[in-house]
A = this chain, B = another copy of it.
Amino acid sequence: MNIALKNPSLSGYEIPAYSPSGQECALFESAWLRQLPLLLKGPTGCGKTRFVAHMAAKLGLPLSTVSCHDDLAAADLTGRYLLKGGDTVWVDGPLTRAVREGGICYLDEIVEARKDVAVVLHPLTDDRRILPLERTGEVLEAPPGFMLVVSYNPGYQNLLKSLKPSTRQRFVAIEFDFLPRAREIAVVAEESGLDAARVAPLVDLAHRLRALKGHDLEEGVSTRLLVYCASLVDSGLSLRDAVIATMIEPLTDEPDVKAALIEVADAIVR
């Protein structure tokens, strides 16, 4: 995992830095080669979005990202009719554009979307690889250069929000986790500008806080928050103020939990 300050989706000429932690790059390339759709699972801020940007740039493919949410419906992906000059004119959605033009369509946090979205993906994710547009009567055949990638955070999954087996079983799946200690120190140091020696105790604190996930905390500290913390320290804020503002306040509102976390932080970071 590797968080660069450059915006990967807007600069087509350089490959966003990413150092693989397993076989995820080989798996992505195999899936791409065999035209299989991909599902990325993993916690908040562990680098899934960056990984997709990295692979898209490496394979020379355009990337279109959609952040899914409660009100995202199939029509937001496929397109809808708009009024123009008194007529209703069809306007492609991001998925339809990607199917027409090829490239990767990345649906982030797919379980958040309305259920009709998942099912719209079905004919695109079996051997037919087609996108039927019911409203226009078109049936688009995905070109070889089209790939569908979706992601979600299993930690949130519940009865109401999960992928149905009939949807999940259409994807090759990869699980992501946080980086090992040395790698995470290097990444945070590079991203924030703070030297590695001062980053190390912050990463140690993050490991301690991640171990509390499921007990006092809903989710552990992400690498992103570590970068925030080191950045604030680098820009002159006191270590303690930075830790509280980035590694404790964003995790909880409970006074008791917060006091316990500050105690943990004071013991590790000083």
Contact = CB atoms under 8 A, between A and B. Distances in A.
Contact of A114 (B4, B71, B94): B71
A266 interface: no
A249 interface: yes
A174 interface: yes
Interface string A227-239: 0100110011110
Interface residues of A, number: 100
A21 interface: no
Contacts of A119: 67-70, 109, 112
Contact of A9 (B49, B139, B153, B241): B139
A156 to B, nearest CB: 7
A235 B165 contact: no
A88 B93 contact: no
Contacts of A10: 128, 130, 139, 141
A108 B122 contact: yes
A265 to B, nearest CB: 14
A103 interface: no
B27 A225 contact: no
Interface in A29-77: 30-31, 33-34, 36, 39, 41, 44-45, 49, 65-74, 76
A67 B132 contact: yes
A220 to B, nearest CB: 9
Report, nearest first, the 4 A-B pairs whose CB atoms are least far apart.
A173-B249, A165-B219, A154-B253, A69-B119
11 contacts: A9-B130, A30-B231, A34-B228, A45-B166, A45-B169, A49-B128, A67-B122, A69-B116, A71-B74, A82-B88, A171-B250
Interface of A: 3-10, 23, 26-27, 30-31, 33-34, 36, 39, 41, 44-45, 49, 65-74, 76, 81-88, 93-94, 97, 108-109, 112, 114-116, 118-120, 122-123, 126-130, 132, 134, 137, 139, 141, 153-157, 164-166, 168-175, 218-219, 221-222, 224-225, 228, 231-232, 235-238, 241, 245-246, 249-251, 253
